[in-house]
Structure 1
């Protein structure tokens, strides 16, 4: 790719603020944001564990004496609490050298950092890594619990934390995470503190030493079990649904667990994890994946009969260990997809194919014919290929079928609705009311699963649809995909459509990629290319080539920079001046995309500089002012761009993709960020008229082909690349593929559904 002069380089703007590097160190991948639990602090209240006076004595007191005694006891409790609050003893003094570690845990939670999601990434050190959405502060306990019980539980947990030198601020989150009897769980097994987001093994070790003293040691069975579960949770943040036994054992050894086999066995015995044996690819009939109750690395009882016959060599298997929630979701998804594939009998398919033939026209002909004869179909292609599912919807509705379409993002829903209106007109539907109601079949995946959008459900909980089309299918994590498959009625067809080149889901799993690899259903590849210079550039990136493209209208512009400070300056200049003046796209329709939240040119620094230029203000409501662009994350891993409307006693009023949202004041810090600059994971599923992709020099290690493909593909008409990584960019496009994820879905599917070839 050659460098073209930019209008942004015409003049420097002294009003643009400088951007210095952040002092904090951030790690982990962007996908981790969406899969992290949110947490928060709740005010404490007095403990309800006071025993009071003896029952016998209480009976002998008069009513007045009992009242005086109760008041005296209440005053004593209040004085004790005040003394504890105002006294010189500080949480953490019970430790000789690890209090700082535990204090760092709460600082990590409160400052927006997260535990590394890269525990199982490549071991090579990187000068900078993309940061995920930060773990937010602890959330209040669920409102459904009685307030007195919640307060008592938090107070009891707080007492245990103080005794072990842990920060008191972790009490609400620990009580909510561990549930009833959390204080007792921590006393009996201090390593349960690892379940609290932001706490690392070395910090839990310090807490355990303070509580257990000489009884604490690295070979403690409780420690091995807790670290095993923690490692599996970190693997889920990195996208894995399970880990191969050798990888888990190596990670346990790295965490100073002296006997990894015993640690895994303990976790399995307690039901904290499950072990599976999946057959490796071999000729002949595949060995069905099985769940084993035996030790990791050992074959379960009866495997010999399944693996060999009459002296044949045992068939190779891989042993996987995973958390129950993801293991069950993967099995449920495989069962649901097998039901969809097998439910459409050959006779039905043949009859349906005849009925569908007259409406199979245009570029969608191949897709329509595949759907006519099969229950499950995969459709791949870029942005322009969405016209084919739109034609499929129009064709299916013309046959009287109930159709529902689900997109990853509200912007995707809006864009597809526009395409659908065009496709409906091309089909010349006679029922004008049906054409007017076309938008009603388009929802978001989250809205469809929650019941807030879509066609509704029957008494059995099944979606009222004959054909479900899921757009942006690479963004499906294993749990969302399983819930969709479980919601399909018998005989319904399922089409998964998406661009396989974009970043995978924020949550664990790689559903779309696994299905493509398993080849258990027809795969229709669109031949419709994305138009224009931006489409040509992105198409080349998809096959590993960073090509020079003709851009006579400045559709693609490269701006070289020497350092991060210049990158920030040029980015602000582009958004505020150059792109509106030279391209005609206003600042509010231009999106900045960078590799992470931290660093000298991360989202925090860029958002601060852009706010100062585009919407300066005091940030009276949690750092926000009316008119600020924001990214709202109601659930982890799902960000919706929008802007601030106003703030009042009810909270922060937002407009998110045309939907009004009110965020209570106590939830603003956990769910709302400034949104002039986003990460690629936050931006996936959305397109803007113009995009400015910022690649400072320290971003080189965060680049990969899927990241570049996703970031560059967010631009519809104009793309500016603030380029400071030199040859790292073409090298990443040519050589750095997506990091592999360990999943079980392909083996589960091939055991239930024969390959389609």
Structure 2
């Protein structure tokens, strides 16, 4: 905040107006110099005076510009300037003609009467209807301006202030002043810390009851976001006290208050959680236990243990298949290269031959397509299987899906809410097979479904442990297993796995440059297409070796000189750009994690046409925000996908994100080549640092 600077001036040109209030302006400052101002705020017009606070920066294409964090407008006092201001169309009903009449009639007193319909009717040509309209428009504009000044004056940035005003409207000042905790925390884009900062600015006490409750809820939500569904009462009180700067005893009483009002639920041993998550895990356990019995139709299914192409199952694989077929629910688990895909293929074939209706699904679009390719049968995302729409899921307990068997792959990615939606939508007779690798990254959302189910001992589990792929062309599998067991990976000459070490003294930028060379020139020399077959994976978004920096650098390689690039809403798009969808979009049939490539970008229409495998999708201004560059991605975003070649840069500056599960999962994304690039100490840290498996959940309690 100390680096923020001030900029004051008059808008001489409105160069661009985008969605959600994004604007690019030319401002003439006090020195009569024209500068570029970028802001998210209420609509602005030429002639308006502005005061902005923000930072100077240099855009790679548009040069020096001032990016405003806060911005307020100043309404001119002098009649001539005010007339020009009104003539710009700021107030509905006033154009150049009427602005001139108003100035001529009221002079410097014009500003005082713009909201007075009776005074306005004294002007020639302004009747009652027009006077009412002008006064109402002026008063609405004043209310908006006052609200934005109020919000920004108490610490909100310009974009957030605009968002809050859009949601609260004319009552913004009254509602926020009365209680920012109850008001702001219900608005999109505002979390506890922002609401708390505004409350402190407004003079709310540190021990205000609503502050303590909101702070504790924030702690609970933060734990859920980290994957937990439970916490101890002492942990919540301690973390809440640290967050709010109050004593632990006071926060312990708040925990008791939320328990008494059933905003938290007590499980056992001092463990508490959100009722929605705890009850969800209880329901999941009930559904699984009801199916964890021998299947009556098992003897009617003939197990050949042989695929149509002549492949024969090993004894271990055959035993796994028989375990699955014997029960109404079972888990098939194992690491890379042990034959899970083969067993899944035979399982689906066997059940299909028995005349059963199968539904195959996975958490992501790419994972479901891989499942379909492996089994030769249709597969979908879990969301599509359940008929997800704007109002929820079409299929549920009252309207179950039509299937005799559901097989779900990549189950480690599935969180509690989604798994709950799946199990309650199963008809009573439907069998469920859960497939996944419990050592891969857990779900982004709350819960640890796959690991909890396997660890419970209550659900049949078929484990595959024998590595089926060995030799120089299988070192990806071998080294991934080594990492999973806590052993450092080894670079093997003339194999599909390599480690390129960068000296410890080398700065992160050096690792970035080496990774770029490996992902482009080296891969090209080995016969890989750097754009379509190589994926860079990194632990973080920020920093010199994060996704943002790597994407910019890789984009410069693949789209030299901004070839064909256009700017839409402040972002550049160019034909050939590699992109990833970040949210499920059922209207366009694209899903979170789907990779595509820009075909064309139209700045005038504000549209981007992208190709996703075998189909083209048009993105309009309201959906472009769901796309990100994907030359480099995080390991989490790549989970459920496979790529011909993967490059993984690791640096010491990513220290707290370097973790075994992350590295193991990232290694297993590569099919034909994987290259680790980075500091030896960073690689060692990733191998030996284990945190991702530690989630406190209630599912094991209900499965006992």
Alignment TM-score, normalising by the size of structure 1:
0.67
- Deviation of 1:492 after TM superposition, in Å, equals 1.0
Equivalents in 2 of 1:529, 1:206: separation in Å?
55
- Whether 1:320 and 2:272 are equivalent positions in the alignment is yes
Equivalents in 2 of 1:592, 1:236: separation in Å?
29
**1:387 aligned to 334, 339, 342, which one?**
342
- In structure 2, the CA distance between the partners of 1:84 and 1:219, relative to structure 1 (3 Å rule), is closer
**1:474 aligned to 409, 412, 427, which one?**
412
Deviations 1:106-162 (A, max 9, x none): xxxxxxxxxxxxxxxxxxxxxxxxxxxxxxxxxxxxxxxxxxxxxxxxxxx768736
Equivalents in 1 of 2:675, 2:499: separation in Å?
5
Equivalents in 2 of 1:504, 1:260: separation in Å?
31
- Deviation of 1:393 after TM superposition, in Å, equals 0.1
- Whether 1:444 and 2:381 are equivalent positions in the alignment is yes
Equivalents in 1 of 2:514, 2:669: separation in Å?
19
- Deviation of 1:514 after TM superposition, in Å, equals 1.0
In structure 2, what is the equivalent of residue 28 of structure 1? none
In structure 2, what is the equivalent of residue 600 of structure 1? 544
Deviations 1:533-592 (A, max 9, x none): 111111111211124354424542424252211112122212221111135454420000
- Whether 1:234 and 2:222 are equivalent positions in the alignment is yes
- In structure 2, the CA distance between the partners of 1:393 and 1:608, relative to structure 1 (3 Å rule), is same
In structure 2, what is the equivalent of residue 367 of structure 1? 320
Equivalents in 2 of 1:697, 1:397: separation in Å?
51
Aligned pairs for 1:23-34 within 5 A:
none
Equivalents in 2 of 1:201, 1:270: separation in Å?
21
Deviations 1:463-485 (A, max 9, x none): 11111111000000111100010
In structure 1, what is the equivalent of residue 282 of structure 2? 331
- In structure 2, the CA distance between the partners of 1:579 and 1:465, relative to structure 1 (3 Å rule), is same
Equivalents in 2 of 1:604, 1:261: separation in Å?
42
Equivalents in 2 of 1:661, 1:383: separation in Å?
33
Cα RMSD for the two superposed structures: 3.6
- Whether 1:503 and 2:503 are equivalent positions in the alignment is no
Deviations 1:419-473 (A, max 9, x none): 213xxxxxxxxxxxxxxxx33xx11223223359xxx969942111111111000
Instruction: Kindly indicate whether the alpha-carbon contact (under 8 Å) linking 1:563 and 1:697 is maintained by their aligned counterparts in 2.
Output: no
Instruction: Kindly indicate whether the alpha-carbon contact (under 8 Å) linking 1:560 and 1:723 is maintained by their aligned counterparts in 2.
Output: yes
In structure 1, what is the equivalent of residue 479 of structure 2? 537
- Deviation of 1:692 after TM superposition, in Å, equals 0.5
- Deviation of 1:387 after TM superposition, in Å, equals 1.4
In structure 2, what is the equivalent of residue 261 of structure 1? 252
Equivalents in 2 of 1:382, 1:196: separation in Å?
43
**1:224 aligned to 212, 216, 221, which one?**
212
In structure 1, what is the equivalent of residue 73 of structure 2? none
Deviations 1:359-382 (A, max 9, x none): 455244223322332111011123
- Deviation of 1:616 after TM superposition, in Å, equals 2.8
- In structure 2, the CA distance between the partners of 1:176 and 1:490, relative to structure 1 (3 Å rule), is farther
In structure 1, what is the equivalent of residue 578 of structure 2? 629
- In structure 2, the CA distance between the partners of 1:530 and 1:684, relative to structure 1 (3 Å rule), is farther
In structure 1, what is the equivalent of residue 676 of structure 2? 721
Please state whether the residue corresponding to 1:588 is helix, strand or coil: coil
Please state whether the residue corresponding to 1:639 is helix, strand or coil: coil
Instruction: Kindly indicate whether the alpha-carbon contact (under 8 Å) linking 2:397 and 2:424 is maintained by their aligned counterparts in 1.
Output: no
In structure 1, what is the equivalent of residue 26 of structure 2? none
Equivalents in 2 of 1:519, 1:413: separation in Å?
28
In structure 2, what is the equivalent of residue 560 of structure 1? 502
Equivalents in 2 of 1:689, 1:537: separation in Å?
17
Aligned pairs for 1:20-99 within 5 A:
68-80=127-139
In structure 1, what is the equivalent of residue 181 of structure 2? 191
- Whether 1:589 and 2:533 are equivalent positions in the alignment is yes
Structure 1 portions without partners, runs of 5+: 1-22, 25-38, 48-57, 59-66, 92-156, 279-316, 422-437, 751-757
Equivalents in 2 of 1:176, 1:545: separation in Å?
54
- Deviation of 1:515 after TM superposition, in Å, equals 0.8
Aligned pairs for 1:150-549 within 5 A:
161=151, 164=154, 166-167=156-157, 169-171=159-161, 173-174=163-164, 186-192=176-182, 193-195=184-186, 199=190, 201=192, 203-211=194-202, 213=203, 216-255=204-243, 256-258=245-247, 259-268=250-259, 273-278=263-268, 317-322=269-274, 324-341=275-292, 346=294, 349=295, 351-360=296-305, 362-363=313-314, 364-384=317-337, 385-421=340-376, 438-439=377-378, 442-450=379-387, 460-529=398-467, 531=469, 532-548=474-490
**Structure 1, 673-682 or 170-179: larger mean CA deviation:** 170-179
Instruction: Kindly indicate whether the alpha-carbon contact (under 8 Å) linking 2:441 and 2:662 is maintained by their aligned counterparts in 1.
Output: yes
Deviations 1:680-699 (A, max 9, x none): 00111111111110112312
**Structure 1, 637-646 or 395-404: larger mean CA deviation:** 637-646
Instruction: Kindly indicate whether the alpha-carbon contact (under 8 Å) linking 1:533 and 1:556 is maintained by their aligned counterparts in 2.
Output: no
- Deviation of 1:398 after TM superposition, in Å, equals 0.5
Aligned pairs for 1:678-757 within 5 A:
678-724=633-679, 726-738=680-692, 740-750=694-704
Equivalents in 2 of 1:462, 1:178: separation in Å?
39
Equivalents in 2 of 1:638, 1:700: separation in Å?
27
- In structure 2, the CA distance between the partners of 1:719 and 1:393, relative to structure 1 (3 Å rule), is same
**Structure 1, 581-590 or 399-408: larger mean CA deviation:** 581-590
- In structure 2, the CA distance between the partners of 1:731 and 1:601, relative to structure 1 (3 Å rule), is closer
Deviations 1:632-656 (A, max 9, x none): 1124993222111222426222223
Equivalents in 2 of 1:508, 1:457: separation in Å?
22
Instruction: Kindly indicate whether the alpha-carbon contact (under 8 Å) linking 1:644 and 1:655 is maintained by their aligned counterparts in 2.
Output: yes
- Whether 1:654 and 2:610 are equivalent positions in the alignment is yes
- Deviation of 1:40 after TM superposition, in Å, equals 6.0
Alignment TM-score, normalising by the size of structure 2:
0.72
Q: Whose Rg is larger? A: 2
- In structure 2, the CA distance between the partners of 1:173 and 1:747, relative to structure 1 (3 Å rule), is farther
Instruction: Kindly indicate whether the alpha-carbon contact (under 8 Å) linking 1:576 and 1:614 is maintained by their aligned counterparts in 2.
Output: no
Equivalents in 1 of 2:701, 2:170: separation in Å?
38
Instruction: Kindly indicate whether the alpha-carbon contact (under 8 Å) linking 1:407 and 1:413 is maintained by their aligned counterparts in 2.
Output: yes
Structure 2 portions without partners, runs of 5+: 5-18, 23-40, 44-89, 92-116, 118-125, 307-312, 586-590
Equivalents in 2 of 1:604, 1:162: separation in Å?
29
Instruction: Kindly indicate whether the alpha-carbon contact (under 8 Å) linking 1:371 and 1:493 is maintained by their aligned counterparts in 2.
Output: no
Equivalents in 1 of 2:193, 2:355: separation in Å?
61
- Deviation of 1:505 after TM superposition, in Å, equals 0.7
Greater length-normalized contact order (CA 8 Å, ≥ 6 residues apart): 1
Please state whether the residue corresponding to 2:270 is helix, strand or coil: strand
